[in-house]
Every structure is written in C-alpha cells, then in structure tokens.
Amino acid sequence: MLAALALTAILTGAPAAASPGGLPVIPPAPAMRFPLRIAAERHVLQDAGGAPVVLHGDAAWSLIAEASARQTDSYLRDRRTRGFNALLVNLIEHKFARRAPRNAEGVEPFGAAGPFTAPNDHYFAHAEEVVSRAGAAGFAVLLAPAYLGFDGGDEGWYREAKLAGAERLRDYGRYVGARFRHLRNVLWVLGGDYAPPDPTLVEALAAGIREADPDALMTGHCSRGRSASSCWPNATWLDIDTIYTGAEVREAAEHAYAGARPFLLIEAIYETAPAGTPRQVRKQAYEALLSGAAGHVYGHEDVWHFDASGVQAPRADWKTALDAPGARGIQELIVLMRQLVPGPLAPDRRGIIKAPRDGHRGALPVSASTDHGRVVLAYLPDGEPVVVDPRPLQDSTVRGFWIDPVNGSRYPAALGDPGDGNGRLVRPVGINHGGEHDWLLLIEPGEQNGERREPLPQGQDGRS
C-alpha cells in the first residue's frame, strides 16, 4: 500500500520541481552498491546491499577509445543528472574512433605481435580509469571486451579473434579479468552483433575472464532479432539474458521473461537512426520494462561514437544530441519507474487493461503491476481505446490517470462507458505533447476526484 500512497501523493500533489531546461529534477536514487547480483527471484537484479535494481542504460560504445577525460566527465554528469545508471561500452574499438584501434591519445591496445597478444598496460590503464570514474558516478558498465562486429565484418574484431584462436583469447580474457576485477561495476558483454560459427572463441574469452574473476557477471550480445540465450543456449558463462530487436520489442521480451534468467533490452532502435523517432525509443523501453525486463539501453546515433565516424552521417554533435527529445522521454520514464517501485515491474496477466474485442487497429497495450498487484500501469503505443476491468484488483473503488510519456503531465482517466460488459471502455485524452498518440494509463485504488492537471497541447480538448 505504501507504493500506492506515494504515487497518489505524486499524482495529486504539487508539480515536481523543474530544472532550468524544463525537465523534472530527478530525486537522487539510493546509490547502487556494487557488485550487482541476481536475486533469488530470477527476473530481478539486486545490488550488494540486496536492493532491487533496474538498469537504465545509455549506449556509449566509443567512450574509452574516443572521449577525452574532460569529455568523459561532461558525459557522465549529463547522464547521471537524467537518471541513467548504466553504460554500454567497448573496451577496445575496431572502427568507430578517429584513431581506432588506438585511443584518443594514440595508444594501441596490443603490441606488435597482433590483436589479443601482449596487451598494452598503458592502454588498459586508461580504460580502467574510465570505468572507475563511471563507477564512482554510480554507473554499472556493460563492457564488451572484444566486440565482434555486425555479421563478423570490419566493425568489430571477429576476423582477428578467429586468427588469434581460442588459447590467445583465453589469455586475453585472463588479462582483462584480472585487470578489472577490483572494479565491481563491470558486467561483461560477450559477442557483439554476431554469434560466430565457432562458439569456442566466445567460450574461451569468457573462461579466461572467469578464471581471473570467478564472481564476474556476464551477458551476451547476439545478432539482431536474437536473444543471447538463443545464440549460446548451453553457455555456462551466461548469467543475464539479453534481447536485441528491431522496432518490435514486446514479443521478444515476453519470451525472455519466460526464461530462467533476468534479461535486458540491450539494443533496439537508436534515436535518429532509420525509424528511430522519439516515440519509438520510448515505446521499446516501456514495452521491455512492462514485460518484466531488469533493464534497457537507450541509444542516440549522434552520441555513442562521440563525434568520430558513425554508421550514418551525424545530424548534431554529441553534446547537443544528449538533450534529444528521445532522451528526455527516457528521463520521464526513469522518473515514473522510480516513483512506482524500486525494482523491475511484474507483467500483469489478469486482463485489467486490455484491447477491445473488436475494432482495435494499433499495437496492443502492455501492462505491469506493483504494490502487490494493486497498482497497474499500461503503455498504449497508438492511443487506441482500451477496456479497463478492475475486478481482479479486489478494491471497492479505483481511479485512473493518463500520463503523457513525453513530459509527465497527467490527467484523470474517466472510467465511464460500460464497454462490452466485462469492463469499461476508456479513451485516451488526445495527442500528447510530442504530437503523438502514445499514452500511459495508471489504475490504482481510490476515489477519482475529477481534478485535471497540466494543460493539454494547444488545440486538444481532452477527447480523442
């Protein structure tokens, strides 16, 4: 009941304080205590103190290879202010840095004998410093020791890994495992846009890391459309599953939730990539989290390579892109998730919020619950009407709120029309502040007071 009371106060009290840029000031979250661990409840990550954790990640692939110390600190401050608590980073960069595989100071990761042989302590000391600073700022680092590259091509290290062979990769794994084992904010990411035909390459690298650091947590990054557990189904090193999707996340997330491991949405569509609209990046995050994910990674095409060459021509410099509309939407998501519950949400299968039997034209709503199932949150990707059937909540009265995922504005949801007899047909309040139709619907115990908060976008009358 405490969660419901806290959320009631938020929804009916004074608006949250805003930063100079107009964004809500995120209350400081309790600092994560590293290392992270898997809770007894298999879908949940927890910190060293036993507190449940949801990872809100940002793709920063080239941070170690491209960013200067000053740029690193600037980047970390921005992402921490917005509520992010995890970063996805390459330990060694093959292509997407100005001097790759050298870092910004021109230091090579390996000696003259070739990749994965004779690691250069000077290079890895710099990498260690970046990861350490991220940990001090409260970030878990999803660290890819040898990103293999899309389809095994020149974006990554697959060809070099194949030439080096399993034994050298195992030695390299021992080196980086020993080098980083004192930095407990590291979560190793094996693979990288590819599952090699010879699985022994990834297995050898993972084995070397685990020999040096038996307590290391590991996950995998497979090819698009596949989960880590589908690429490496028998891997003893795989502690946390991931999904890597295109525009549609829900089905992959529901499948992963049925598995034996916690899972993360490690990648989907990046903002400003083809199809990477602000709506898309918030849609994929909500679909993952409301389907039970223990975390997700947001990415922006103009941020992750820090103004080095990327996959496509940049639209803005990386510092400007930090404040992109999609990033602001993820910030609103983080605020809401912190208000609801400290850990992952549980998917709600009771049919409290569902699509009507007939006439539903858009993507299906996805919903989750908290406060022992008494509070339900749903994301409606296309603003289609939904049927609300509160009977499974077993509360004599319930009330609803529409929440704008763009800026957090909220409005009472009128629970009026009888619908199909098994619930009430509820219609979203119109176009949101981003000019889109996606909305969040919150149902909780209590009397609807009829109060309306925040003006709707100009020209909207509160009805669809």
SS3 173: helix
| 458 within a domain of the structure (yes/no) | no
Tell me, yes or no, whether 313 and 369 share the same domain. Answer: no
pTM, two decimals, is 0.91
Instruction: Measure the CA angle with vertex 46, ends 44 and 49; round to 5°.
Output: 155
Structural domain including 440 reads 348-445
| Helix runs in 55-136, H state only | 63-66, 69-81, 121-136
Tokens of 297: 């990674």
Tell me, yes or no, whether 390 and 286 share the same domain. Answer: no
Tell me, yes or no, whether 405 and 300 share the same domain. Answer: no
Q: Nearest 10 degrees: CA dihedral of 458, 459, 463, 464?
A: -100
| 2 within a domain of the structure (yes/no) | no
Total Cβ atoms within 10 A of residue 401: 21
Q: What is the pLDDT of residue 414?
A: 83
Q: What is the pLDDT of residue 363?
A: 84
Q: Looking at the predicted structure, is the pLDDT value of residue 233 above 90?
A: yes
Q: What is the pLDDT of residue 340?
A: 86
Tell me, yes or no, whether 199 and 272 share the same domain. Answer: yes
* Mean of the per-residue pLDDT values of the chain: 89
pLDDT in tens, 352-406: 999 988 767 778 999 999 888 889 999 999 999 999 998 888 777 889 999 999 9
Tell me, yes or no, whether 39 and 136 share the same domain. Answer: yes
Sign of the CA dihedral with 380 first, then 383, 386, and 388 last: positive
Q: What is the pLDDT of residue 446?
A: 83
Q: How far apart, in whole angstroms, are the C-alpha atoms of residue 262 and residue 296?
A: 12
Q: What is the pLDDT of residue 229?
A: 96
| 3 within a domain of the structure (yes/no) | no
Tell me the average pLDDT across 176-186. Answer: 98
The residue written with tokens 């925040």 in the block is: 454
Tell me the average pLDDT across 91-114. Answer: 96
Predicted confidence band of residue 1 (pLDDT cuts 50, 70, 90): very low
Tokens of 461: 């009358």
Q: What is the pLDDT of residue 27?
A: 59
Q: Looking at the predicted structure, is the pLDDT value of residue 18 above 80?
A: no
Q: What is the pLDDT of residue 398?
A: 86
* Peptide bond before residue 101 is cis, with ω within 30 degrees of 0: yes
Nearest Cα neighbor of 298 from 347, 252, 334 is 334
* Domains held by the chain: number: 2
Last residue in a domain, options 340, 366, 386 = 340
Instruction: Measure the CA angle with vertex 117, ends 111 and 121; round to 5°.
Output: 55
Calculate what percentage of the chain has a pLDDT beyond 90: 73
Q: Which residues is 386 bridged to in the sheet?
A: 426
Q: Can you say whether residue 38 is alpha, beta or left, with left for phi > 0 and alpha for psi between -120 and 50 degrees?
A: beta
| 11 within a domain of the structure (yes/no) | no
Tell me the average pLDDT across 173-182. Answer: 98
Least trusted range by pLDDT, from 216-220, 294-298, 361-365 = 361-365
Predicted confidence band of residue 455 (pLDDT cuts 50, 70, 90): low
CATH of the domain at 231: 3.20.20.80
The residue written with tokens 């609803």 in the block is: 400
Q: How far apart, in whole angstroms, are the C-alpha atoms of residue 88 and residue 72?
A: 14
Q: What is the pLDDT of residue 153?
A: 95
Question: Residue 144 to residues 83, 121, 214: CA-CA distances in angstroms?
Answer: 23, 18, 18
Tokens of 380: 């409606």
Contact 34, 132 (CB under 8 A): no
Q: What is the pLDDT of residue 126?
A: 98
Amino acid at 372: H
Amino acid at 102: R
Last residue in a domain, options 319, 340, 361 = 340
Radius of gyration of the chain (CA): 23
Give the chain's end-to-end CA distance (angstroms, integer). Answer: 33
Instruction: Measure the CA angle with vertex 370, ends 422 and 396; round to 5°.
Output: 45
Tell me, yes or no, whether 214 and 66 share the same domain. Answer: yes
The β-bridge relationship of strands 37-38 and 45-46 is: antiparallel
Tell me, yes or no, whether 234 and 366 share the same domain. Answer: no
Tokens of 145: 């020791």
Predicted confidence band of residue 4 (pLDDT cuts 50, 70, 90): very low
Q: What is the pLDDT of residue 312?
A: 83
Least trusted range by pLDDT, from 24-28, 86-90, 307-311 = 24-28
Tell me, yes or no, whether 42 and 147 share the same domain. Answer: yes
Residues of the chain by 3-state class (helix, strand, coil), percent to 5: 30, 20, 50
Tell me, yes or no, whether 294 and 369 share the same domain. Answer: no
Tell me, yes or no, whether 363 and 333 share the same domain. Answer: no
Question: Residue 403 to residues 32, 269, 439, 441: CA-CA distances in angstroms?
Answer: 28, 23, 6, 6
Q: Report the residue count for the chain.
A: 464
Q: How far apart, in whole angstroms, are the C-alpha atoms of residue 296 and residue 182?
A: 25
Q: How far apart, in whole angstroms, are the C-alpha atoms of residue 255 and residue 347?
A: 12
Q: Looking at the predicted structure, is the pLDDT value of residue 6 above 50?
A: no
The β-bridge relationship of strands 295-298 and 55-59 is: parallel
Question: Residue 366 to residues 149, 246, 350: CA-CA distances in angstroms?
Answer: 33, 17, 12
The residues, any chain, with a CB within 8 Å of residue 91's CB and separated by 6 or more, are 64, 127, 143, 144, 145, 146, 176
| 297 within a domain of the structure (yes/no) | yes
Tell me, yes or no, whether 79 and 59 share the same domain. Answer: yes
Tell me, yes or no, whether 316 and 353 share the same domain. Answer: no
Tell me the average pLDDT across 211-224. Answer: 97
Give the distance, in angstroms, between the CA of residue 120 and the centroid of all CA atoms in the same chain.
Answer: 32
pLDDT in tens, 141-163: 999 999 999 999 999 999 999 99
Last residue in a domain, options 277, 310, 340 = 340
Q: Looking at the predicted structure, is the pLDDT value of residue 461 above 60?
A: no
